[in-house]
Structure 1
Amino acid sequence: MTEPDLDALFTAASAVRGQAHAPYSGFRVGAALRDEAGRIHAGCNVENAAYPVGTCAEAGAIAAMIAAGGRQIRAILVLADSPAPVTPCGACRQRIREFAGPDTPILSGDSSGLRARYTLDQLLPASFGPEHFVHGS
């Protein structure tokens, strides 16, 4: 991934992170992804008083991609301030898996820059995906 590509992901994730609805935890997260056409889609976390019905930033970015006609994640950045690099939760790793390959970069950053770089296979090894379904008669 080239530096301009990374800069564009940071810009989008940072902008949307500012819109996060996190009144309970105060933990604002922004995510931005690049699709197969090179377009960037972003999402932020949206908390709810009934905690299980909140939405992760990654899920919002994926929904924005699908709504715009994208179908493949080429790279995704998760942006949050934390002592340790923030990676997608287990459910979001599976959501990403639906639209990404094993070598897809999953990047973790904060307001100071890139903190860590992973592949989907590193974060979700031996995963279950669409190819496990047998189609036909």
Structure 2
Amino acid sequence: MDDTELLSLAREAVERSYAPYSEYYVGAAIETGDGTTFTGCNVENANYSNSVHAEELALSKAVAAGHRGFEAVAVSSDRRDGVTPCGMCRQSLAEFCDDGLRVVCDPPDGRASYTLGELLPDTITAGHLE
């Protein structure tokens, strides 16, 4: 799937967000190694620590469906401000994705692409726990 299509799915997921506290609506779409896509949106909770981020939800749905290899993730917000995955989401992605994962974002002037390694250099991996 190309970046434009993946970003379109992330934009659609924004519409399903539940963000009554921050009023910052985020959607994500992740593409697996076999081309399957999963979407997620942020789901807030009055106890902020129980909130779920869009990228985490998309990734969790994919992992729960048995996927372990990923090609790209796209992230968008209702503000189309170029939001990138937060540090926590970057670390969650790093658990299942290598440094070359394409991360497609949605700035006001089109789209921007990064690699996970650019956004999270020297990540913590399972090797650090040995």
Aligned to 1:121: 117
Q: Structure 1 44/111 Cα, relative in aligned 2: closer, same or farther at 3 Å? A: farther
**Can you give the 5+ residue segments of structure 1 that lack an aligned partner in the other structure?**
none
1: CA distance, partners of 2:27 / 2:107: 10
Aligned to 1:76: 73
1: CA distance, partners of 2:109 / 2:17: 19
Counting matched residue pairs gives 130
Which 10-residue stretch deviates more, 78-87 or 64-73? 78-87
Matched, 1:22 2:19: yes
State the percentage of identical aligned residues.
38
Secondary structure of the 1:15 match is helix
Secondary structure of the 1:98 match is helix
Q: Note the C-alpha offset of 1:14.
A: 1.7
**Can you give the 5+ residue segments of structure 2 that lack an aligned partner in the other structure?**
none
Q: Which protein has the larger Cα radius of gyration, Structure 1 or Structure 2?
A: 1
Secondary structure of the 2:2 match is helix
Q: 1:80–1:111: 8 Å Cα contact kept in structure 2?
A: no
1: CA distance, partners of 2:23 / 2:109: 19
Q: Structure 1 111/67 Cα, relative in aligned 2: closer, same or farther at 3 Å? A: farther
Letter in 1 for 2:57: G
TM-score normalized by structure 2?
0.89
2: CA distance, partners of 1:118 / 1:112: 16
Q: CA RMSD in A?
A: 1.9
Q: 2:42–2:53: 8 Å Cα contact kept in structure 1?
A: yes
Q: 1:80–1:110: 8 Å Cα contact kept in structure 2?
A: no
Letter in 2 for 1:119: T
The structure showing larger relative contact order (alpha-carbon pairs under 8 Å, at least 6 residues apart) is 2
Q: 2:80–2:107: 8 Å Cα contact kept in structure 1?
A: no
Aligned to 1:50: 47
2: CA distance, partners of 1:8 / 1:19: 18
TM-score normalized by structure 1?
0.85
Q: Structure 1 37/112 Cα, relative in aligned 2: closer, same or farther at 3 Å? A: same
Secondary structure of the 2:74 match is strand
1:34 to 31, 34, 38: 31
